[in-house]
Structure 1
Amino acid sequence: MRSDVEFCSEGRTLHGWLYRPGAGADTAAAVVMAHGFSAVKEQYLDRYAEVFQAAGLGVLVYDHANFSASEGLPRQEVDPVLQKRGYRDAISFAQTIPWIDPARIGIWGTSYSGGHVIAVAAIDRRVRCVVAQVPFISGSLSAQRRTRSDLVPAQLRRFEADRAARFRGAAPAMLPAVSADPLQPCAMPGPDAHAFFTGTQDFAPNWHNAVTLRSAELSRENEPAVHIARISPTPLLMIVAQDDILTATDLCLEAYQRALPPKDLVMVPGGHFDPYLRHFDRTSTAARDFLVAHLGAIV
């Protein structure tokens, strides 16, 4: 069974889905889930939630502040600090649901939110286990790889001009999330990113191909993996794509090496978006088995 839910985070109402497992114990373990950079829950998170639900887990899936039906201004702004706080408030909300065991809650994140859950698991001991799929590791290192050094000064000037304009009361500058034109600046470059997002428009109409320019600036400041060694003793599963250029494979593997046990690593072929589609069965099953093992779900 799936129901629509809402909860408050940082003064904003966030909207999502709550999945309750079928027959079994009066209380169930649960997993909290949210999507990555600019993405909304309809972009395949329902498929993961259904796998976890079938294994006896409750699932709370929600949209980040400023996106889809969730409240927040500026619209389409990806604020990593706000989104991490959203995860923590989602855990608090899940703990108020009568049939969820408040001591058995895990978190799952993917891409940008894969970085969020690394940080949240390191600082919030209510988290019993964490799954980070193709996680965002380092804003500074990612920026160095995505932007040629000779183009960085102009990019920083755009950030400064936007900040000055917003201070004067102007609307925030916007940036495409993805683009088919390799010469057009966008938040997530590459044909695979464009194909993934535009391929979901029929069933995810609330996704919009735009983020604030400040989202890119905030991304440069986001360093979730500095916390990774502090996740232990909370169990960590990291799912990494072998040829990921968006959240680079080598950065993910280096971060995994810095994590302390207990930890598990699953490698899948392909690029950043293959875990959602071509290797969905493998990634969803790996996450399901890990969550069940550490949360003690009852089928």
Structure 2
Amino acid sequence: METVKFRNPNMYWDIAADIHFPPDFDASNSYPTIISAHPIGSCKEQTSGNVYGTALADAGFVVIAFDRSFQGSSGGEPRSIEDPVQAVEDFRRVVDYAVTLPYVDADRIGVLGICGGGGYAINATMIERRIKALGTVTGANYGRLMRGNFSNLQPIAALEEMAKQRTAEMRGAEVKVDDLLPPSVEAGKEAGLTDRDILEATDYYRTPRGQRPNGLNRSAPSHQAAAVGWDAFNLAEVLMTQPMCIVVGDKPGAFGAYRDGCEIIERAASTEKELVVAEGWSHYDLYDQPEPVKIALDKLIPFYRKHLGEGVANKQVSAAE
């Protein structure tokens, strides 16, 4: 694995990424490449890189697991922002970087998005034709979440509060950053929280299971208004044409990945699309639990091999011929 930071002439800060290499990697050859995107409030060291990134690399792909702007080790201020427009642009910037690498086959680039990274991946794939195949694992439409459970089903009231906070910060107040989760599962239950996704997220992000220094699951509300007005699936009936493999668990929770998976499969214009349901497993089980992760990878690996090609280096094959 190699950790890199990069920017192109259109960027104002660095993007950080871990590049995972296949076995017997040879930089003189050319490989199919998958860009892997982390969940909301997360980082590249959580599930997108350390679970799916390593597994896909072992299967023969170069995998670039990156941190979105304002998060992880990437640049951008203030921190802890989930800006969907910027998040989608980050995918395109990672593609820009990937096509400069001599060992990346520019005609064989796919993406994988986990949780909110899945919604961003879908939206990015619609407008970035250099992306040839799309996979998501428990992908969620962040805009729907912000208009729904993340705003207590009161998006206008939430927008009013965001506006007040933004004005306060412009007048000199410190940037407000909210913890999106309780400090522990026990504290969440004591506070009356019962939803599966929230409690399992807490178990993942607030314990050694998934806890990482750069994946704090925090959010700056003064910069959340754009997300309330954004829709990951907008124009999917027209623009989403690449092959898709959408993996969800069938244990529903407040984050709604199961319903989002069903919706994008129905709406997308793609002629090759598959909904993979990991029966008996939840949103956060698919982050790192061996059995559901295997269900996901057993579908994703052959999907990417079909649409991006085997991990055999093109240059090597040409030389043999």
2:260 is aligned with 1:247: no
The amino acid that maps onto 2:282 is G
2:298 is aligned with 1:285: yes
How far is 1:225 from its partner? 0.9
Match among 276, 286, 292 for residue 287 of structure 2: 276
Match among 214, 238, 245 for residue 237 of structure 1: 245
CA RMSD of superposed structures (Å): 2.5
Q: Give the whole-Å Cα distance in 2 for the aligned partners of 1:72 and 1:163.
A: 17
Change (3 A) 1:215 1:199: farther
Q: Give the whole-Å Cα distance in 2 for the aligned partners of 1:102 and 1:184.
A: 50
Per-residue CA shift, 1:15-53, capped at 9, x if unaligned? 111122234781111001120111011112222112111
Change (3 A) 1:189 1:163: farther
Q: Give the whole-Å Cα distance in 1 for the aligned partners of 2:171 and 2:192.
A: 27
Match among 47, 50, 53 for residue 51 of structure 2: 47
Match among 174, 188, 193 for residue 181 of structure 1: 188
Q: How many residues align?
A: 295
Identify the range of structure 1 (123-132 vs 275-284) with the bigger mean alpha-carbon deviation. 275-284
Change (3 A) 1:141 1:63: closer
Match among 38, 41, 46 for residue 41 of structure 2: 38
Q: Give the whole-Å Cα distance in 2 for the aligned partners of 1:107 and 1:21.
A: 16
The amino acid that maps onto 1:257 is E
Structure 1, unaligned runs of 5 or more: none
- Work out whether residues 38 and 78 of structure 1, in 8 Å CA contact, stay in contact via their aligned partners in 2: yes
What percent identity do the matched residue pairs reach? Answer: 22
How far is 1:142 from its partner? 5.4
Which residue is 2:200 aligned to? 192
Q: Give the whole-Å Cα distance in 2 for the aligned partners of 1:8 and 1:80.
A: 19
Structure 2, unaligned runs of 5 or more: 313-321
Q: Give the whole-Å Cα distance in 1 for the aligned partners of 2:87 and 2:31.
A: 25
User: Where do 1:48-87 residues align within 5 Å?
Assistant: 48-87=52-91
Q: Give the whole-Å Cα distance in 2 for the aligned partners of 1:64 and 1:110.
A: 13
- Work out whether residues 30 and 101 of structure 1, in 8 Å CA contact, stay in contact via their aligned partners in 2: yes
Q: Give the whole-Å Cα distance in 1 for the aligned partners of 2:173 and 2:257.
A: 35
Match among 260, 267, 273 for residue 263 of structure 1: 273
User: Where do 1:107-146 residues align within 5 Å?
Assistant: 107-137=111-141, 139-140=143-144, 143-146=147-150
Identify the range of structure 1 (154-163 vs 170-179) with the bigger mean alpha-carbon deviation. 154-163
TM-score scaled by structure 2? Answer: 0.83
The amino acid that maps onto 1:287 is L
3-state DSSP class of the match of 1:93? helix
- Work out whether residues 21 and 56 of structure 1, in 8 Å CA contact, stay in contact via their aligned partners in 2: yes
- Work out whether residues 57 and 298 of structure 1, in 8 Å CA contact, stay in contact via their aligned partners in 2: yes
Change (3 A) 1:23 1:215: same
Identify the range of structure 1 (211-220 vs 73-82) with the bigger mean alpha-carbon deviation. 211-220
The amino acid that maps onto 1:21 is P
2:95 is aligned with 1:91: yes
- Work out whether residues 35 and 63 of structure 1, in 8 Å CA contact, stay in contact via their aligned partners in 2: yes
User: Where do 1:147-166 residues align within 5 Å?
Assistant: 147-149=151-153, 154-166=157-169
Match among 197, 219, 224 for residue 227 of structure 2: 219
Per-residue CA shift, 1:164-207, capped at 9, x if unaligned? 1123243322211212436599xx97211111111247762222
TM-score scaled by structure 1? Answer: 0.89
3-state DSSP class of the match of 2:215? coil
3-state DSSP class of the match of 1:242? strand
Q: Give the whole-Å Cα distance in 1 for the aligned partners of 2:94 and 2:237.
A: 24
Change (3 A) 1:98 1:232: same
How far is 1:232 from its partner? 4.4
Change (3 A) 1:201 1:232: closer
3-state DSSP class of the match of 2:87? helix
